[in-house]
């Protein structure tokens, strides 16, 4: 039923609100065995002192998979998105052992009577009110009687899917309500003191106009700055607090790409030339293409100029059945055949009735209804009235009117039905949206269009080529078992090293590699400077890796961040050079100072402290503080800023009553409330000592 689908959609939204992740499409596969390390493997994880077993985690996955199947109305779940469910299930367990314990400690819950009130009482949850199926069709206002009617008919679905989906929706409502109560509790405990409010009022109301000169750090080349390890170590010791880190691994790896050889291409062409003989004489080329081509037949008509130039000229001058020789296009060989020629328009005006199957309306019922409606329409019934009564499309209220539309605006089957029909004809089409009854009211000017079918053979690497590449990668591993050998061979063989830095144990992607979870797992099981023991294959690439970095959670070591330090120290050294230049050129005449520094004087009007940035300079809070609270009409320099070194001179200060204590107090309260919505649960989870060992199993 349509109502159930809306509930399913809304349930997905609510769960996303509660745990901060979207319910995507998932598949369930046999993955426990493939990731098990065997004896001595760690527990799956630990949350807030609670050991998480594989069985509990798997049960959570199973529940989410079943919910997703119900939501999609299908047993088929996209395999590509299966990995998302792992994180979804983990987040549910994190919430269970952190937020749920917090709720219980504070006595936050939702009673049965409160839930009933949220669904059909005086204080109905806004999420329910927003579901279109529970709104009056004319007024678009929420109608509680529709909710009550839906609940009364819930058990009419013998499969039990309707009730299961509704219970999942209720569960999401409850969790969302508990989070709302928790956040409200914290928000109500906040207040802004008088000093804080006064500071904000001052920051908003006081402004200054100034002149400034800025020399950016980028104006000095990095190679013009000298530094040594002592400089790096000194900076590190003074700023060690900046370098707390999360557990991560870094890799350098080389790929041996499995690419088709010339022999593979020649073989592909030879086989396609043999197929072409049958293709030329085939009476049903569309069927032949769908059975034999690497690309399915595309039911599209082209007008002059829409095909590749040479093919366009050839096909528009030929008769149906004309077939080209084998030709190469990109990584495929092709044979093109002129399948059909028609006079067709580029636009049409139509109206339609959309019928959609549901839990209570099977495809057979919808088909029977379609036939009945077509018969009524052809018998003279009012199309617009039937559209208003039966159509599930948004155009129903206007009698199904779609007005004029151009080629490409509608889905393929719908467009085909309209453009190949005659004016006034009643036609039907099936699309991913349902079954359409269409009245073609007008058609645009017709012109010659052709339909071309392609017999395609993709050029792929043969098993022989694959084996040759594998052997190269295996030879590389056998001969390079140390970091020194690995790096030397890269230079000798002129291989291109690729780098993947700071890989988290929860990561599932490495740029350029297809599903590289196995490589990440190896990195976390290996020691620093280890070379992978076996060749790993990801997509069409064989990979050999060197583990270049091992970082554990907590304070880092100097060696771990030495490369990162170079960027920071270079900036510091540039600042030192600039400060010397600014000091030497300092003058009460800013224009004269700018001339000595070969810089231009810039202006900025009405800069406030709350603005954080200076137009033309950027985020320079320190310079703004100097301008607002330093001496007026006097050059202040040098000022070490975020993007460079500055000299400033204020020209005017002003006070405007833009903000009042009342308005700032209200603004601060709103800002705090917004932060609470994500920072409170984040803080609790960060302090829960979460250990995530899923990498070794999933």
Residue 399: give its domain's CATH number: 3.10.50.40
DSSP string, 609-626: GGG-EETTTEE-HHHHHH
Residues 104 and 66 in one domain: yes
Quote the tokens at residue 266. Answer: 């020649």
Q: In this structure, is residue 665 part of a structural domain?
A: no
- Between 35-49, 434-448, 535-549, the lowest mean confidence (pLDDT) is in 35-49
Query: Angle 562-585/590-597 helices, nearest 10 degrees?
Result: 130
Residues 157 and 81 in one domain: yes
Residue pair 307/414 in contact (Cβ under 8 Å)? The answer is: no
CA dihedral 78, 80, 85, 87 (to 10 degrees): -160
Residue pair 665/192 in contact (Cβ under 8 Å)? The answer is: yes
Phi, psi of 654 (to 5 degrees): -145, 155
Task: Indicate if the pLDDT at residue 3 is higher than 50.
Answer: no
Look up the domain containing 299 and give its range: 262-344
Q: In this structure, is residue 22 part of a structural domain?
A: yes
For residue 334, the Cα-to-chain-centroid distance in whole angstroms is: 35
Q: What are 651-695's pLDDT values in tens digits?
A: 888 999 999 999 999 999 999 988 988 888 889 988 998 999 999
Residues 14 and 80 in one domain: yes
Q: In this structure, is residue 195 part of a structural domain?
A: no
Q: In this structure, is residue 457 part of a structural domain?
A: no
Q: What angle do CA 317, 319, 324 make, to 5 degrees?
A: 80
Q: In this structure, is residue 223 part of a structural domain?
A: yes
Q: In this structure, is residue 697 part of a structural domain?
A: no
Residues 519 and 536 in one domain: yes
Which of 444, 472, 490 is where one domain is finished? 444
Return d(Cα 326, Cα 306) in angstroms, integer.
21
Range list of H helices, 189-239: 194-205, 229-238
Edge-to-edge strands of the sheet including 45-47?
50-52, 45-47, 691-692
Q: What are 71-80's pLDDT values in tens digits?
A: 666 677 776 6
Residues 365 and 333 in one domain: no
Q: In this structure, is residue 193 part of a structural domain?
A: no
Residues 532 and 602 in one domain: no
Residues 82 and 138 in one domain: yes
Q: What are 134-192's pLDDT values in tens digits?
A: 877 667 788 888 888 888 887 777 777 778 888 888 988 999 999 999 999 999 888 89
Residues 153 and 76 in one domain: yes
Which of 344, 365, 392 is where one domain is finished? 344
Residues 539 and 598 in one domain: no
Which of 552, 571, 588 is where one domain is finished? 552
CATH number, domain with residue 469: 3.10.50
pTM (predicted TM-score): 0.66
Return d(Cα 585, Cα 295) in angstroms, integer.
71
Q: In this structure, is residue 453 part of a structural domain?
A: no
Residues 499 and 579 in one domain: no
Residues 70 and 146 in one domain: yes
**Average of pLDDT values for 619-632?**
92
For the chain, what is the domain count?
5
Cis peptide preceding 638, ω within 30 of 0: yes
**Average of pLDDT values for 100-110?**
92
Residues 50 and 159 in one domain: yes
Phi, psi of 606 (to 5 degrees): 50, 55
Quote the tokens at residue 247. Answer: 């557990």
């Amino acid at each position: 039923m349509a109502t159930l689908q809306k509930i399913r959609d809304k349930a997905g939204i609510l769960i996303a609100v509660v745990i901060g992740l979207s319910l995507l499409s998932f598949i369930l596969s046999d993955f426990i065995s493939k990731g098990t390390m065997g004896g001595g493997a760690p527990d799956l994880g630990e949350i807030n002192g609670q050991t998480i077993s594989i069985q509990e985690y798997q049960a959570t996955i199973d529940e989410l998979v079943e919910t997703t199947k119900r939501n999609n109305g299908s047993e088929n779940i996209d395999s590509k998105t299966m990995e998302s469910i792992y994180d979804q299930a983990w987040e549910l367990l994190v919430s269970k052992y952190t937020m749920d314990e917090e709720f219980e400690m504070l006595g936050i819950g939702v009673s049965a009577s409160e839930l009933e009130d949220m669904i059909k009482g005086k204080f109905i949850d806004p999420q329910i009110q927003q579901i279109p199926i529970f709104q009056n069709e004319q007024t678009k206002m929420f109608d509680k009687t529709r909710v009550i009617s839906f609940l009364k008919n819930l058990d009419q679905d013998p499969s039990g899917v309707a009730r299961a989906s509704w219970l999942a929706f209720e569960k999401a409502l409850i969790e969302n309500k508990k989070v709302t109560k928790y956040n409200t509790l914290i928000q109500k405990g906040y207040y802004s003191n008088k000093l804080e409010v006064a500071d904000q009022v001052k920051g908003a109301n006081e402004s200054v106009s100034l002149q400034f000169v800025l020399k950016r750090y980028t104006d000095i080349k990095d190679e013009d700055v000298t530094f040594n390890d002592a400089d790096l170590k000194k900076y590190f010791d003074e700023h060690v607090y900046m370098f707390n880190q999360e557990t991560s691994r870094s890799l350098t790896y080389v790929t041996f790409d499995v690419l088709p050889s010339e022999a593979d291409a020649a073989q592909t062409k030879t086989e396609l030339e043999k197929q072409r003989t049958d293709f030329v004489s085939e009476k049903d080329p569309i069927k032949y293409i769908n059975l034999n081509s690497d690309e399915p037949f595309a039911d599209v008509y082209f007008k002059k100029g829409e095909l590749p130039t040479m093919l366009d000229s050839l096909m528009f001058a030929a008769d149906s059945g004309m077939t080209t020789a084998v030709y190469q296009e990109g990584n495929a060989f092709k044979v093109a055949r002129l399948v059909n020629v028609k006079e067709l328009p580029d636009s049409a005006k139509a109206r339609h009735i959309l019928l959609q199957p549901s839990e209570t309306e099977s495809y057979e019922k919808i088909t029977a209804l379609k036939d009945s409606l077509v018969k009524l329409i052809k018998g003279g019934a009012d199309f617009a009235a039937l559209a208003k009564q039966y159509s599930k499309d948004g155009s129903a209220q206007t009698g199904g009117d779609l007005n004029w539309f151009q080629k490409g605006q509608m889905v393929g089957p719908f467009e085909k039905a309209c453009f190949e029909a005659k004016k006034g004809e009643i036609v039907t089409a099936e699309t991913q949206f349902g079954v359409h009854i269409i009245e073609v009211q007008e058609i645009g000017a017709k012109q010659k269009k052709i339909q071309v079918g392609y017999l395609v053979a993709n050029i792929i690497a043969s098993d022989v080529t694959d084996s040759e590449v594998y052997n190269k990668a295996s030879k590389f591993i056998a001969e390079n078992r140390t970091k020194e050998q690995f790096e030397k061979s890269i230079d000798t063989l002129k291989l291109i090293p690729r780098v993947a830095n700071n890989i988290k144990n929860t990561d599932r992607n490495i740029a350029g590699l297809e599903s590289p979870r196995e490589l990440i797992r190896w990195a976390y099981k290996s020691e620093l400077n280890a070379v992978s023991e076996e060749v790993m294959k990801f997509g069409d690439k064989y990979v050999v890796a060197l583990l270049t970095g091992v970082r554990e959670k907590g304070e880092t070591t100097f060696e771990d961040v030495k490369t990162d330090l170079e960027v920071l120290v270079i900036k510091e050294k540039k600042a030192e050079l600039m400060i010397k230049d600014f000091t030497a050129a300092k003058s009460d005449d800013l224009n004269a100072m700018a001339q000595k520094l070969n810089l231009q004087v810039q202006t900025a009007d009405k800069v406030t402290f709350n603005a954080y940035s200076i137009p033309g300079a950027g985020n320079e809070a320190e310079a703004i503080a100097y301008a607002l609270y330093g001496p007026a009409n006097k050059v202040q320099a040098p000022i070490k800023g975020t993007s460079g070194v500055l000299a400033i001179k204020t020209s005017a200060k002003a006070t405007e009553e833009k903000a009042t204590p009342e308005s700032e107090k209200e603004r601060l309260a709103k800002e705090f409330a917004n932060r609470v919505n994500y920072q409170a649960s984040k803080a609790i989870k960060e302090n829960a000592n979460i250990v995530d060992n899923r990498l070794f199993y999933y």
